[in-house]
Structure 1
Amino acid sequence: MLHLIKLTPGCANVEELAQRVREGDRHDGLHVIYTRTQPKRADEIAGKGSIYRVIAGFVAARQSIIRFKPHTRHDGQEGTMILVAPEVISVQPRPMRPFQGWRYYKPEDAPPDLTARDENLLHAMPTHLRKALTELCLL
């Protein structure tokens, strides 16, 4: 099993990502993330792994990847749809610098999910304090 890490540009927080997912494109009832190419290791991910989302410089959430499906982009070029479960799961925030495309996570390297209690405490905290504590690896 393997996971993907992908930037979520223009998204300020996990709540905004969840809103985008609720309002976003669907295919076969699943949320769609469009990308130009299919990951070379897609067989290790589909149905088993997740896509971890980098939001405002932190790995902050994940969605389970159901499958990959080819599609034709608006410009006529071939692309890939990453079909993911609609549930957005908050994870323990982890700093991540910007990168292009995606990266892979081995399961043992992926940040753990937050419990509902952890998530409530985290979101009750002012953003600047949450960011500072995360950067210091105290969250």
Structure 2
Amino acid sequence: MAVHMIKLCVGADTIEDLVDWRRRHSAPGEPWILRTRMTPKRAAEMIDGGSVYRVFKGLILCRQRILDIRTVGEGVSARCEVVLDEDIVRVEPTPRRPFQGWRYLVPKDAPPDLAESGADEMPPELARELREIGAW
């Protein structure tokens, strides 16, 4: 069974901000790499169909499929590189409280893709308000 990762997207308020940052900081054809300090112990499960779910300003808004996880360096200087698919899949906006680093996300707790839910045209702010009042 696949396991996902959830991570705060700091410095970007929207998915478009994230894509713009990527465009400015990466060369064409360069793989999309998310760097973290700790390598997941469940990396094999994450590579087997897992995704990174991103939290923007308190809402999970998108995910990217995990292609590979590797540790670079040794000892105290060791770091983790999570290689991501270029395609960004929008998900149902789902509230999430702040946390540090990253966390595992089991599939049953992962929000569905917007295309599956039929709500792909709803603005994120409206979705947040509807969830807060319990209407969605």
For this structure pair, what is the TM-score category when the shorter chain's length is used for normalisation? 0.7 to 0.9
Identify the residue that residue 22 of structure 2 maps to in structure 1: 21
- 1:95 Cα deviation (Å)? 0.6
Partner of 1:92: 92
**Corresponding letter in the other structure for 1:53:** R
Distance verdict in 2 for CA 1:110–1:89, change over 3 Å: same
3-state SS, counterpart of residue 119 of structure 2: helix
- Say whether the 8 Å CA contact 1:70–1:80 is kept in structure 2: yes
Distance in 2, matches of 1:25 and 1:81, equals: 15
Which residue does 2:81 correspond to in 1?
81
| Shift in alpha-carbon separation, 1:20–1:66, aligned structure 2, 3 A | same
Gapped regions of structure 2 (runs ≥ 5): none
**RMSD of the TM alignment (CA)?**
2.5
The alignment covers a number of residue pairs equal to: 132
- 2:135 alignment partner in structure 1: 138
* Alpha-carbon offset, residue 17 of structure 1: 2.0
Displacement of 1:30 after TM fit? 2.2
What is the Cα deviation at residue 137 of structure 1? 4.2
Within 1, Cα distance between the matches of 2:38 and 2:80?
A: 6
Aligned to 2:60: 59
Residue 132 of structure 1 aligns with an amino acid whose one-letter code is E
Q: Identical aligned pairs, as a percentage?
A: 34
8 A contact 2:43–2:69 mirrored in 1:
yes
- Tell me the residue number matched to 2:102: 102
TM-score by structure 2 length? 0.83
Post-superposition CA distance 1:96-122 (Å, at most 9, x none): 001111111111221000129632x21
1:87/1:21 Cα in 2 relative to 1: closer, same or farther (>3 Å)? farther
Call closer, same or farther: CA 1:48–1:23 in 2, change over 3 Å: farther
Letter in 2 for 1:138: A
Provide closer, same or farther for how the CA distance between residues 77 and 111 of structure 1 changes in structure 2, counting only shifts above 3 A. Answer: same
Q: TM-score, normalised by structure 1?
A: 0.81
| CA distances 1:52-99 after superposition (whole Å, capped 9, x unpaired) | 001110111000000112224xxx821011100011111001110011
For residue 35 of structure 1, report the CA deviation from its aligned partner: 0.3
Classify the secondary structure of the residue corresponding to 1:122.
Answer: coil
